[in-house]
Structure 1
Amino acid sequence: MSSEENSVEFDKQVNGWIVKYRCPNCGRKYKVTLNKPTNKKVKCNFCKYIVKLTIHQNSVSVS
C-alpha cells in the first residue's frame, strides 16, 4: 500500500469499497463506502467543493 492519501480498497466486513480521499480545494480528509466501484461526485462538507472521484482498479483519482 502506498502512502498516497487517496486510496480505494475492498472491505469484506462491510462488503463494499472504502474510498479515502482528500478534498483538492481545502485539503480535508474524507472516507466514503461504495457498494460497487463506480465514479461518484461528492460535496466537501467544509468548503462545498464538488469532488469527482474516479475509481480505478486499485486507486482513485480526485478532481
Structure 2
Amino acid sequence: MAVTRLVGECEKGTCATLYRVEETGDILVQGYEVADAGAVVGIVIPAGESVVRIPAEIIERYAREHLVG
C-alpha cells in the first residue's frame, strides 16, 4: 500500500499526521491514544476500528492548503 503524507503536526518525526492511500484515496490518521475512557463514552467502536485524537489544526491546515481555492 503506497501512502503520501498530506499534513502533520511536525515536519519530521512521529507526530499526528494525515496520509492518503494512493490506490484508494482513503485517508489514514496517525494520532494520539485516547487514554481517558470517559472521552469516548457513547461512541460505538466496532471490532477492527479505534479512535485516535488529533489536533483540530491538522484538519484546518489541510483544508486551507489543499481544499480552499
- What TM-score, normalized to structure 1? 0.38
- What TM-score, normalized to structure 2? 0.35
Higher helix share: 2
